[in-house]
């Protein structure tokens, strides 16, 4: 993953971001406050705000303002000022790639903000920690920190901060190559920033979207997003537009590779070359080695495409040399980071032990009071137990009645299963008897017809038995329940395939409206059983020349599947009794196909095993829609 994404995430370390004109105006205003105010806390806040405005344009000046804010806060005992200063120190060392120090100062800021119960400060510190963990590819920890930051900001309804942390969560998903999830969070950030038209933060969102779209090979859309970001930054000559220009360079390069016209191809390559060179000039001024390396790499590719091997080789060697240097530095940095993290953990453990000692002393003081109160409570408890015992006995009797009813329902359930199996087996035995008695008088086509039907019956019976056995074993906890992400479209097609012959006989068309990338977090075999059972039901109760449609959609919390038929439908009474074990809802299909209602009872059990929901909508002689939804793995 290119360093550009890391730096875009870095830009969100500070919520206070401005256009160049606004920034100069803000700097002048803060300097006046510092010179005129006699209130130390106001001066501390102004110094820290001023430091924030120089994070990226003049880091050393930012450090000077932070030191002044820290010294004043320490002198007057202003805890919030210290916390803000620690946060500014952390950002400064982050920019300098001194991540151990950045981590140390960030934790100091977080502890102070937590002591003050400062929600905005807690959010800011967690965001900083997330950005540092991203640097070391600890994406799980980074997501945890960003989520905490987002939660704190939602409590205070800080819209700009919410957008910031949504952007950063999207950045983590981008690094994890979960591009669709990344786009979801970038889009949320754009919408949250929409209240301030053309905001500085929206430009960063569009840059991240451009990067993601290039990974998705949607290069023209990436160009559109980059240009939106450039329009927001206008003539900003900082790294911000350099990132947009290198992304534009990439987009035009990839478009050139697939362009068939030689003239257009050369034009696209020249555009790519111009944008990369513009971004490289800014990266050289800023001394951003990783971005310089990436620029060299793309220049090498462009010159190779232009059939200029000497230039291509030259830039390839420059990129390789820089990469070796960066790799060596990153290894050293990783070791220092781990050492620093260990020291912080040890310090936290010592603090925890000290707190435990203090608590232990406090316990001794309150022990005598506790014993006295305990004697009184125990006396009251014994009396309460005596009164509640009778109530408990009555409750146990009621529970036993409920359990007895459940057992009766189970017995009835298994009697339904036995009846359901008996019919198909009789048909199967009839075919075997026919073959045994008359095989000598049957021609090849008749034997093949009987064998095909026997095989079909055997497959259906075997499938039914397997489903019943799996359900029984799952109810008893004898088999593992293994939900995982599954693409739903292939699974639906597989279920349709097993029932296609039955559909063809009744000339019923089965249509799917399922996105190819849509996934469901569920046990594969159980999900297939649910789909197959509901689809089989739809085929039974749909007349000839009817239709069935399977749809699926997802949102941030769950995935929902619907199976709609144009069948005979159900009345309200049947709908109310549909999933009950002790009420018979079975009826024959449109062509006398047998049905017991067993499949739907199994479906309900399976869906609820996933903490999901199943429901039905139906109208007599119009049709029926079965819905079931499963919660997402991460919602």
For residue 3, what pLDDT is reported? 42
For residue 77, what pLDDT is reported? 93
For residue 611, what pLDDT is reported? 92
**In this predicted model, what pLDDT tens digit does every residue of 464-477 receive, in sequence order?**
676 667 667 666 76
The Cα–Cα gap between 595 and 458 comes to: 18
CB atoms within 10 A of CB 107: 21
30 pLDDT tier (thresholds 50, 70, 90): confident
Nearest Cα to 290, choosing from 327, 315, 317, 260?
A: 327
Query: What are residue 477's phi and psi, to 5 degrees?
Result: 75, 30
For residue 583, what pLDDT is reported? 67
CB atoms within 10 A of CB 495: 23
Q: Which residues on adjacent β-strands are paired with residue 616? A: 626
The Cα–Cα gap between 202 and 210 comes to: 12
**In this predicted model, what pLDDT tens digit does every residue of 180-190 receive, in sequence order?**
999 999 999 88
For residue 105, what pLDDT is reported? 92
Provide the angle, in degrees to the nearest 10, between the axes of the packed helices 309-438 and 99-116: 70
5 pLDDT tier (thresholds 50, 70, 90): very low
102 pLDDT tier (thresholds 50, 70, 90): confident
- Summary mean pLDDT of the chain: 82
Mean pLDDT of 150-177: 91
For residue 344, what pLDDT is reported? 56
173 pLDDT tier (thresholds 50, 70, 90): very high
* 37-41, 184-188, 283-287: least confident range: 283-287
The Cα–Cα gap between 28 and 447 comes to: 97
HSE (CB half, 13 Å, CA atoms) of 376? 5
CB atoms within 10 A of CB 164: 31
Opening angle at CA 200, ends 294 and 151, nearest 5: 95
Opening angle at CA 607, ends 603 and 609, nearest 5: 120
The Cα–Cα gap between 247 and 214 comes to: 8
**In this predicted model, what pLDDT tens digit does every residue of 312-365 receive, in sequence order?**
898 888 888 887 766 555 555 555 555 555 555 555 555 566 656 656 666 666
* 110-124, 259-273, 334-348, 587-601: least confident range: 334-348
* 199-213, 458-472, 564-578: least confident range: 458-472
For residue 23, what pLDDT is reported? 72
Nearest Cα to 91, choosing from 48, 120, 122, 152?
A: 48
The answer to whether residue 103 scores a pLDDT higher than 70 is yes
DSSP 515-544: -TT-EEEE-HHHHHHHHHHHHHHHHHTS-T
HSE (CB half, 13 Å, CA atoms) of 246? 25
For residue 550, what pLDDT is reported? 96
Give percent helix, percent strand, percent coil of the chain, each to the nearest 5: 75, 5, 20
Q: Rounded to two decimals, what is the model's pTM?
A: 0.48
For residue 78, what pLDDT is reported? 93
Instruction: Assign 623 to helix, strand or coil.
Output: strand
The answer to whether residue 26 scores a pLDDT higher than 60 is yes
**In this predicted model, what pLDDT tens digit does every residue of 386-443 receive, in sequence order?**
777 777 777 777 777 767 666 665 666 666 566 556 656 766 777 787 777 777 777 8
Query: What are residue 503's phi and psi, to 5 degrees?
Result: -65, -40
| Structural domains of the chain sorted by starting position, each given as residue range(s) with its CATH number in brackets | 1-193 (1.25.40.10), 482-631 (3.30.565.10)
Range among 2-11, 166-175, 579-588 rated most confident? 166-175
Mean pLDDT of 129-141: 87
Opening angle at CA 409, ends 408 and 413, nearest 5: 120
The Cα–Cα gap between 124 and 88 comes to: 11
Q: Give percent above pLDDT 70 in the chain.
A: 79
266 pLDDT tier (thresholds 50, 70, 90): very high
For residue 414, what pLDDT is reported? 66
634 pLDDT tier (thresholds 50, 70, 90): low
Q: Give percent above pLDDT 90 in the chain.
A: 35
For residue 336, what pLDDT is reported? 55
């Amino acid at each position: 993953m290119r360093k550009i994404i890391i730096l875009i995430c870095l830009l969100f370390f500070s919520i206070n971001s401005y256009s160049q004109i606004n920034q100069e105006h803000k700097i002048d205003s803060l300097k006046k406050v510092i010179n005129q105010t006699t209130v130390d806390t106001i001066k501390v806040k102004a110094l820290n705000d001023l430091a924030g405005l120089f994070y990226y344009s003049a880091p050393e000046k930012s450090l000077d303002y932070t030191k002044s804010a820290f010294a004043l806060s320490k002198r007057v005992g202003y805890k919030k000022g210290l916390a803000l200063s620690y946060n500014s120190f952390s950002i400064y060392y982050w920019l300098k790639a001194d991540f151990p120090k950045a981590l140390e100062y960030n934790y100091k800021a977080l502890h102070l903000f937590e002591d003050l119960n400062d929600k905005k400060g807690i959010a800011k510190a967690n965001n900083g920690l997330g950005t540092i963990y991203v640097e070391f590819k600890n994406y799980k920890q980074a997501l945890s920190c960003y989520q905490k930051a987002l939660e704190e900001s939602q409590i205070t309804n800080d819209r700009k901060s919410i957008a910031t942390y949504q952007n950063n969560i999207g950045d983590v998903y981008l690094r994890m190559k979960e591009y669709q999830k990344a786009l979801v969070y970038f889009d949320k950030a754009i919408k949250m920033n929409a209240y301030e038209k053309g905001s500085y933060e929206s430009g960063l969102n569009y840059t991240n979207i451009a990067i993601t779209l290039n990974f998705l090979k949607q290069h023209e859309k990436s160009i559109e997003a980059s240009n939106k970001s450039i329009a927001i930054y206008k003539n900003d000559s900082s790294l911000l537009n350099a990132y947009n220009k290198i992304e534009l360079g990439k987009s035009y390069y990839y478009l050139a590779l697939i362009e068939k016209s030689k003239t257009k191809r050369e034009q696209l390559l020249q555009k790519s070359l111009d944008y990369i060179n513009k971004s490289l000039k800014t990266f050289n001024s800023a001394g951003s080695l990783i971005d310089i390396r990436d620029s060299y790499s793309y220049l090498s590719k462009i010159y190779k495409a232009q059939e200029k091997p000497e230039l291509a080789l030259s830039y390839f060697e420059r990129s390789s040399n820089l990469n070796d240097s960066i790799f060596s530095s990153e290894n050293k940095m990783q070791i220092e980071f781990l050492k620093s993290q260990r020291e912080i953990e040890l310090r936290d453990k010592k603090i925890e032990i000290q707190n435990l000692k203090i608590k232990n002393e406090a316990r001794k003081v309150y022990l005598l009071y506790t014993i006295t109160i305990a004697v009184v409570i125990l006396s009251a408890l014994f009396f309460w137990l005596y009164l509640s015992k009778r109530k408990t006995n009555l409750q146990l009797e009621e529970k036993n009645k409920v359990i007895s009813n459940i057992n009766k329902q189970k017995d009835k359930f298994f009697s339904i299963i036995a009846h359901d199996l008996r019919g198909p087996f009789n048909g199967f035995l009839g075919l075997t008897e026919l073959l045994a008695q008359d095989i000598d008088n049957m021609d090849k086509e008749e034997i093949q017809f009987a064998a095909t039907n026997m095989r079909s019956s055997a497959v259906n019976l075997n499938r039914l038995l397997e489903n019943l056995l799996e359900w029984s074993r799952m109810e008893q906890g004898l088999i593992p329940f293994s939900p995982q992400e599954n693409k739903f479209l292939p699974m639906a097609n597989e279920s349709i395939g097993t029932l296609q012959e039955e559909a063809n006989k009744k000339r019923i068309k089965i249509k799917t409206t399922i996105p190819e990338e849509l996934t469901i977090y569920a046990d594969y075999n159980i999900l297939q059983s649910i789909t197959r059972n509901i689809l089989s039901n739809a085929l039974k109760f749909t007349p000839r020349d009817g239709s069935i449609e399977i749809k699926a959609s997802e949102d941030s919390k769950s995935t929902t599947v619907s199976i709609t038929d144009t069948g005979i439908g159900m009345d309200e009474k049947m709908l109310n009794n549909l999933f009950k074990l002790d009420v018979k809802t079975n009826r024959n299909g449109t062509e006398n196909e047998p049905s017991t209602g067993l499949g739907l009872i199994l479906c309900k059990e399976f869906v609820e095993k996933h903490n999901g929901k199943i429901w039905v909508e139906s109208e007599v002689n119009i049709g029926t829609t079965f819905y079931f939804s499963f919660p997402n793995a991460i919602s």
